[in-house]
Amino acid sequence: MSKYLALVLVILLSACGGSGDSAAPESTSTTTPASTNDRAVRIESSTITAGTFEEIIELTGSVEATDDAVLSARTSGTITRITDLGKRVGRGYIAAQLDSGLSNAALVQAQAQLESAEASFRLAEDVYNRQEPLFADSIISALEFEQVRTQMNQARAQLNQARGLVAQAEEQVAYTRVTAPFSGTVEEHFAEQGEQVSPGMPILRIVNSNLLKINAGVPERFADDIEVGSPARVSFSAYGIPPMEASVDFVGKAIRSNSRTFPIEISIRNIDGKLKPEMIASVQLERNRLADAIVVPQGAVVRDEEGLSVFVVNRTGDNPVAEKRSVRTGPSFEGKIVITEGVSVGEELITAGMNDVSSGDRVQVVNADGTIAEDAANDAIAS
């Protein structure tokens, strides 16, 4: 019995020893991944430069003709001729003619009366000149000479009256002619040939579109910044017309109560004739010009609970890292902003990816297309 038990124990022990060689326990150790802080953040950068910054006031204006007149009748009559629409006329040109038959007849009559009055005066003056020495020699009496003097004075008065009647008749004839006060183009008819018109009734409109003006309203807060001669740029992007450089010709003194703006005028020449009255213009006025200013993309400036800041690339160590800088800013315009304090010319500014980094993070400078930049520090900021 004891031998049998010993044999069973030997068999069991042998079985246990064999299984140890075929099933070794696996390792349960875990590899900790590298910290994300050790990986470089991809950013874009540009070298800070100094340049000229223009602070601009943007306005909307409308085009008006400097010379634009509606011509009206100054007397009653029938229109016998009117200038065609679109015709270019010079100053003094008879743009419309009224029936002048009665006026011309009155003028002829007045001129005849004038000729008669001139003859009567010459005769009376001749008599006076002949009688004057006789009176001096006491050949004729004082009463007789006074009668001669009176006749001459009456003839002179009649002559002056006749001259006045001629001038009045000539004026009435002139009233039948509607003349252009300046060179321009006939833009509109308010009456047609054959129509009867009365004094003050509009007949036609003449516009000189060679010299135009832009009217715009400037917010009252800029009242101290704009004056006659201030530089201006006028654009007509909606019409495909190139921008024009000009200057302010007029600055209003009164503030419009409904818009809280003051009026300005800018004169421009319509060289190619493409501009037309009532077109809409974009006006840019130079409020301020800063020379040698540090100008950076406005998007590079970060605002947080600590205020305004930017990130620059610090390359003093083995690897470039982001460095946060608190900054003071000046005016901004069209996506650019002036930095007055916090960075210097020549430093490398992070212009993209600044929201993904903290101060001290490793950075990798890439181009806008994602490729690694060979020398990002040579890309200057556009000013």
Token pair recorded at residue 367: 């181009």
Residue 185 resides in a domain: no
**pLDDT over 90 at 371, yes or no:** no
Q: Verify that 243 and 296 share a domain, yes or no.
A: no
Residues 262 and 297 in one domain: no
Model confidence at 164: pLDDT above 70: yes
Instruction: State pLDDT tens for residues 103-121.
Output: 889 999 999 999 999 999 9
Confidence class for position 38, pLDDT limits 50, 70, 90: low
The rounded mean pLDDT for the chain is: 85
Tell me if 21 is assigned to some domain.
no
Strand order across the 77-82 sheet? 177-179, 94-98, 77-82, 196-197
Distance CA 194, CA 172 (A): 20
Domain that holds residue 297: 41-53+291-378
Which CATH number goes with the domain that contains 244? 2.40.30.170
**Same domain as 298, residue 374:** yes
Count other C-beta atoms under 10 Å from residue 176's C-beta.
Answer: 24
Q: Is residue 107, in this structure, part of any structural domain at all?
A: yes
| Rounded Cα–Cα distance for residues 149 and 117 (Å) | 16
Q: What's the pLDDT tens digit per position in 326-340?
A: 999 998 888 899 999
Do 272 and 313 share a domain, yes or no?
no
Instruction: Give the span between the Cα atoms of 309 and 286, in whole angstroms.
Output: 28
The domain that holds 299 is classified in CATH as 2.40.420.20
194 inside domain:
no
Distance separating alpha carbons of residues 232 and 30, to the nearest angstrom: 70
Query: Is there a domain that residue 251 lies in?
Result: yes
Which CATH number belongs to the domain containing residue 104 in this structure? 1.10.287.470
Between CA 351 and CA 349 the distance in angstroms is 6
Same domain, 279 and 308: no
| Statement to judge: residues 280 and 305 lie in one domain | no
Residue 229 has pLDDT above 50, yes or no: yes
Tell me how many domains the chain contains. Answer: 3
State the average pLDDT over residues 127-135. 90
Task: Identify whether residues 277 and 302 lie together within a single domain.
Answer: no
Question: Is there a single domain that holds both residue 106 and residue 154?
Answer: yes
Q: What band does 368 get if pLDDT is binned at 50, 70 and 90? A: confident
Look at residues 246, 274, 290 and tell me which one is the last residue of a structural domain: 290
Looking at the structure, do residues 306 and 249 belong to the same domain, yes or no? no
Which of 255, 290, 325 corresponds to the end of one domain?
290
Tell me the per-residue pLDDT of 251-302, one tens digit each, with 9 for 90 and over. Answer: 999 999 999 999 999 999 987 888 999 999 999 998 888 889 999 999 999 9
In contact, 231 and 276? CB cutoff 8 Å: no
Is 15 a domain residue? Answer: no
Residue closest to 97 by CA, chosen among 171, 206, 185, 203: 203
CA–CA separation, 121 and 112 (whole Å):
14
pLDDT at 24: 33
Beta strands in 196-347 (DSSP E): 196-197, 202-219, 231-236, 241-251, 261-269, 280-297, 302-304, 307-314, 321-326, 328-333, 336-341
Q: Residue 348: inside a domain, yes or no?
A: yes
DSSP, res 378: G
Looking at the structure, do residues 296 and 361 belong to the same domain, yes or no?
A: yes
Lowest-confidence range among 118-122, 249-253, 356-360?
356-360
User: For the whole model, what pTM was predicted?
Assistant: 0.58
Q: Please tell me whether residues 271 and 319 are part of one structural domain.
A: no
The answer to whether position 116 is within a domain reads yes
Percentage of residues in the chain with pLDDT exceeding 90? Answer: 65
| Per-residue pLDDT reduced to its tens digit, 176-213 | 999 999 999 999 999 999 999 999 999 999 999 899 99
Helix axes 142-175, 101-136, angle to 10 degrees: 160
Are both 322 and 365 inside the same structural domain?
yes
Picking from 248, 265, 290, the residue at the C-terminal end of a domain is 290
